[in-house]
Structure 1
Amino acid sequence: MKTDTIFYTLFQTLPGVLFELLEQSQALALHYQFTSVEIKELARRIDGLFLPKPDFPEDQIYFVEVQFQRDDDIYWRIITEAFLYINQYKPQRRWQAVLLFAQRSLDPGVPFIYQTSLAQQQIRIIYLDELDDVPSSSIGLGVIKLVVATEDKAVQQAKNLINQVQQTDEANRSNLLELVERMLIYKFVNKTQQELEAMFGLTDWRQTKFYQEVKEETKQEVKEEVREETKLETIPRLLKFGLSIEQIAQALELNVEQVRQAIDKQGEEETESNS
């Protein structure tokens, strides 16, 4: 499931949910623009950035990272990106790094050097699977809870969320429903479009913008998988030409471990066929 896509779409549509997670007023979202910025030194972008509008000079900057898999370098990376952004753009504001972990077990722990050098509350940590204990009628929190819900709970939660969205004012209903539908496609990845429509009473969405985006993303994923499979099939031929593992990895734009695994797999298959 593409959690980055879901969460950054959620922040764009309902920016107040960040402040709800931080136990602050959702109205603070009116002070902010949710954006992404380029960091030249890293040749990459920070995607989760809440920048205060000029009219609110006392509000702080929030660097937001969503983490759904184990990454032992997550704290090093987000703090490095924060300081590189500060060095490049030189904002005269306070700042805070917010890490949203799918579950507590994914948190590698704040490195000791940051525990001693950063101001208290400079890093805010939230475990999304523990939000079940937080009562709220917020649609934004409902989306987040659904993302981390187990399969046996997810269907009923999705139905409740759709009913909640359908009770909102007409001006916002379309965007909110599209957000929920986008999330359902990623959450129930093994269900077809027709099955999802039947499960949740949704209308045909094949012509909607988000469905076309998901369809295009799926095509790109398939292309990448085919491309990598083709590369792996090329490895035995390159070995016969006398290239080293490192040379093969460089030529095919793979890492050395991928090449080694492909060679080991080929050796196991040849052993089985000869036995």
Structure 2
Amino acid sequence: MHRDSLFYQLFAQLPQTLFDLLGIDTPPGYRFDSVELKQTAFRIDGVFVPPDPSGTVYFCEVQFQRDNTFYQRFFSEIFLYLRLHDGTFSDWQAVVIYPDRQAEQETFQAYQLLVNSDRLHRVYLNELGSLEALPLSLALMQLTVLPEAEMATAARFLAERTRTEAVPRPEVIMELITTIVLYKFTKLSREEVLRMLGFTTEELKRTRFYQEVYAEAREEGRQEGRLEGRQEGREEGLQEGLQQGLQQGEAAIVLRQLRRRFGSVPSDLEERIRQLSPHQIEALAEALLDFTDLGAVSAWLNRSS
């Protein structure tokens, strides 16, 4: 699982997550970033910068594998950052996120005072509590460390919480849930994951994923159609040729989507689809998510003829 990227998305989209971990109200105006200290090629996973110099800067690191030099590197990064940005904040705090206690560095005598100080907060995701009791931002974090056997049920539960609770930016939370599950179930398509999470066809059509795929398909169809139209059109019939080309281009996109889902498409079924009107092709493209096999496609064509 590409956890660095995943946690970057989580903090960038829901910066209140860090303050939920610390059990404090989210202060306004904080900006999140991942910072590279170029002089040494150090990189801090996350820096939460206060809006004014009187605030506290928060450093956050996600550490899922044991590294017995971690605290040496982490505190070096922090103090270098403090030196380079002197005067831009009044205090600092650090948070390290571990999946469990076994992932933490074993010995750190030279840094004992800092590790045990109130400046460093160590979080163990498997000890956060139940998904039912956690804020959604923290439940998303815990979802990343669940075993595969539990993840599908937990993800569906969080998706349902997102639908029924008054949460800010529910579309962002749904997208993050989907991304986490995709990282775990690498052989599933995004559409299959959304189905697994209990999305209805209408909900699927409202997702960013569906809208982007459909918009891309439409644009590819237009481009393919324009090419065919230019090749077939003559001066007196150019407009008609362009229209026919657009129609054939969109039909080709629908056929490609069917092949991706069900394999080869019989020639007679392909011919029926190519004969559809532009309005019918658009309706078929929107109905694709309802089909479970090519027989359902044939049934839809029979109803639409």
Q: Same fold (TM over 0.5)?
A: yes
Q: Which amino acid aligns with 2:24?
A: Q
Q: Is the 8 A contact 1:146 1:158 kept in 2?
A: yes
Give the number of the structure whose alpha-carbon radius of gyration is greater.
2
Aligned residue pairs total 206
Which SS does the other structure have where 2:129 is aligned? helix
Which SS does the other structure have where 2:80 is aligned? helix
Higher relative contact order (Cα pairs below 8 Å, separated by 6+ residues): 1
Q: Is the 8 A contact 1:96 1:123 kept in 2?
A: yes
Q: Is the 8 A contact 1:36 1:48 kept in 2?
A: yes
Q: Is the 8 A contact 2:114 2:120 kept in 1?
A: no
Superposed CA deviations along residues 26-84 of structure 1, whole A, max 9, x for unmatched, are x32x2411112331321344230011111x71x32111000111211111111010011
1:100 aligns with 2:97: yes
Distance in 2 separating the partners of 1:159 and 1:133? 15
Q: Which amino acid aligns with 1:102?
A: P
Shift of 1:7: 1.0
Q: Is the 8 A contact 1:97 1:123 kept in 2?
A: yes
Which SS does the other structure have where 2:128 is aligned? helix
Q: Which amino acid aligns with 1:107?
A: E
Q: Is the 8 A contact 2:45 2:62 kept in 1?
A: no
The aligned counterpart of 1:71 is: 67
The aligned counterpart of 1:83 is: 79
Q: Is the 8 A contact 1:6 1:183 kept in 2?
A: yes
Q: Is the 8 A contact 1:99 1:125 kept in 2?
A: yes
Shift of 1:104: 0.6
Alpha-carbon distance change, 119 to 94 in structure 1, aligned in 2, over 3 angstroms: farther
Which SS does the other structure have where 1:189 is aligned? coil
Which SS does the other structure have where 1:197 is aligned? helix
For residues 102-117 of structure 1, what are the structure 2 equivalents within 5 Å? 102-109=99-106, 111-116=108-113
Q: Aligned Cα RMSD in Å?
A: 2.7
Which SS does the other structure have where 2:62 is aligned? strand
Alpha-carbon distance change, 31 to 80 in structure 1, aligned in 2, over 3 angstroms: same
Distance in 1 separating the partners of 2:119 and 2:178? 35
Which of 149, 162, 174 aligns to 1:177? It is 174
The aligned counterpart of 1:166 is: 163
Which of 121, 127, 136 aligns to 1:139? It is 136
Deviates more, 1:77-86 or 1:125-134: 125-134
1:43 aligns with 2:45: no
Distance in 2 separating the partners of 1:154 and 1:162? 12
Which SS does the other structure have where 2:141 is aligned? helix
Share of identical aligned residues, percent? 32
The aligned counterpart of 1:19 is: 19
Distance in 2 separating the partners of 1:16 and 1:115? 29
For residues 46-61 of structure 1, what are the structure 2 equivalents within 5 Å? 46-54=44-52, 57=54, 59-61=55-57
Residue segments in structure 1 that go unaligned for 5+ positions in a row: 213-275
Residue segments in structure 2 that go unaligned for 5+ positions in a row: 217-305
Distance in 2 separating the partners of 1:76 and 1:166? 43
Alpha-carbon distance change, 16 to 110 in structure 1, aligned in 2, over 3 angstroms: farther
1:9 aligns with 2:9: yes
Which SS does the other structure have where 1:99 is aligned? strand
The aligned counterpart of 1:153 is: 150
Which SS does the other structure have where 2:97 is aligned? strand
> Normalized against structure 1, the TM-score is what?
0.66
Distance in 2 separating the partners of 1:133 and 1:71? 28
Alpha-carbon distance change, 111 to 39 in structure 1, aligned in 2, over 3 angstroms: same
Shift of 1:106: 0.6
Q: Is the 8 A contact 2:59 2:78 kept in 1?
A: yes
